[in-house]
Chain A
Amino acid sequence: MLYPMRQSDFFFCAVAAASGLLLLSALDAGLRARAAAPVIAQRSALVAALDLTDLALFTEARYTRHPSQADLHSAFQDHPMALEHFPTGSLVPAPIPGRPLP
């Protein structure tokens, strides 16, 4: 028997469409990651050629520019009571007492 679409049919269509989009986003992620392989290779090559150690995301201070090279007390070297004042510095984890620095 023919009857108009039920609300649940709309729901299933919407879920199917959204899942399709989600799948598409996963596909897109895979394709773009593959397409980005040469870029990653270039970056890796530069890192290898210049012995780089860090990402150039936060260039304001040495412990934010090179977190792996700076010890995490750098922020307090100038004065033991110095307040951290670089915005990104606040995102670097604080050293945990009793644990050796990385």
Chain B
Amino acid sequence: MIELRDVKKVFNQGRGNALWAVRGVTLDLEPRQVTVFTGPSGSGKTTLLSMIGALSRPTSGRISLDGTLLSNLPERFMTQVRRRTFGFVFQRFNLIRGLTVLENVMLPAYPLAPDYGDLRRRARALLAQFGMDAKADDKVEWLSGGEAQRAAICRALINAPLILIADEPTANLDSARSRELIGLLGELQDLGKTVLVASHDPLVFESARVSRVVELRDGLLAEDA
């Protein structure tokens, strides 16, 4: 259960170009569901998602995860929560070029320092699960868009997070690949993961697999705006 209470975020505070990206969002998110945040670009959905995913801290307001307050943790501890709880799939995949697919998938586990053999096995198993085992030793820049997206999902899942956050995951995919991706996200929900997606792609938020759609407008929930 994720609870947001009057969450606000301002960039460049105290300067002339201050920007209120999120202006007070109060929201409860149920576990083991696919929730889509939608709204026009600039509506604050990415910012909100990055705060929920403990990538950044709200300027004010509180975010708590299963009763633990996340919003006032220093970065060091936010990272510790983040790497065990959240997995991220980014709009531009954000795989590290020059490394192989396998290495990219293993990367989030490096700071946790598991046994190397175990980690490799885990990564290979994940890749096999998403039909990527043939590509494991290829460099990521040789992958197609769909393959890169799957590699990114494998990477997001390597630390077995409870919550998967995807930011505009279909932006670089064609319709067929997008539908496939939504299917994958749905499968993850079946595995007991909470899935949070930011997207203004109708293919995504109109999909049957989506349990809830939260609409944002100008940094506020559309219902409040």
Report which A residues bind B (CB closer than 8 A): 1, 3, 6
> At the interface with chain A, which of B116-124, B177-185, B192-200?
B116-124
Report the minimum CB–CB distance from A8 to chain B (whole Å): 9
Mask: chain B, 108-136; 1 = CB below 8 Å from A; 0 = not:
00000000110011000000000000000
Q: How far is the CA of A1 from the CA of B119 in the complex (A)?
A: 11
Q: How far is the CA of A3 from the CA of B102 in the complex (A)?
A: 12
Q: How far is the CA of A6 from the CA of B116 in the complex (A)?
A: 10
Report which B residues bind A (CB closer than 8 A): 116-117, 120-121
Q: How far is the CA of A3 from the CA of B137 in the complex (A)?
A: 12
Closest to A8 in B: B116
Q: How far is the CA of A6 from the CA of B121 in the complex (A)?
A: 15
Complex contacts, B117 vs chain A, CB 8 Å: 1, 3
Complex contacts, B121 vs chain A, CB 8 Å: 1
Q: How far is the CA of A6 from the CA of B106 in the complex (A)?
A: 13
Total residue contacts A-B, CB cutoff 8 A: 7
Report the minimum CB–CB distance from A50 to chain B (whole Å): 68
Q: How far is the CA of A1 from the CA of B115 in the complex (A)?
A: 11
Report the minimum CB–CB distance from B67 to chain A (whole Å): 40
Q: How far is the CA of A6 from the CA of B120 in the complex (A)?
A: 11
Report the minimum CB–CB distance from B127 to chain A (whole Å): 14
Complex contacts, A1 vs chain B, CB 8 Å: 117, 120-121
Closest to B118 in A: A1
Closest to B120 in A: A3
Complex contacts, B116 vs chain A, CB 8 Å: 3, 6
Report the minimum CB–CB distance from A86 to chain B (whole Å): 57
Report the minimum CB–CB distance from A15 to chain B (whole Å): 19
Report the minimum CB–CB distance from B103 to chain A (whole Å): 9
Q: How far is the CA of A3 from the CA of B117 in the complex (A)?
A: 8
Q: Top 6 nearest A-B pairs by Cβ distance? A: A1-B117, A3-B120, A1-B121, A3-B117, A6-B116, A1-B120
Q: How far is the CA of A58 from the CA of B121 in the complex (A)?
A: 69
Q: How far is the CA of A13 from the CA of B121 in the complex (A)?
A: 25
Closest to A6 in B: B116
Closest to A4 in B: B137
Q: How far is the CA of A19 from the CA of B86 in the complex (A)?
A: 43
Report the minimum CB–CB distance from A88 to chain B (whole Å): 53
Can you pick out 7 interface pairs between chain A and chain B where the beta carbons lie within 8 Å of each other? Answer: A1-B117, A1-B120, A1-B121, A3-B116, A3-B117, A3-B120, A6-B116
Q: How far is the CA of A25 from the CA of B117 in the complex (A)?
A: 37
Report the minimum CB–CB distance from B122 to chain A (whole Å): 12
Complex contacts, A6 vs chain B, CB 8 Å: 116
Q: How far is the CA of A1 from the CA of B124 in the complex (A)?
A: 13
Closest to B137 in A: A4
Report the minimum CB–CB distance from A6 to chain B (whole Å): 7
Q: How far is the CA of A1 from the CA of B123 in the complex (A)?
A: 14
Q: How far is the CA of A3 from the CA of B122 in the complex (A)?
A: 13
Q: How far is the CA of A6 from the CA of B184 in the complex (A)?
A: 32
Report the minimum CB–CB distance from A30 to chain B (whole Å): 40
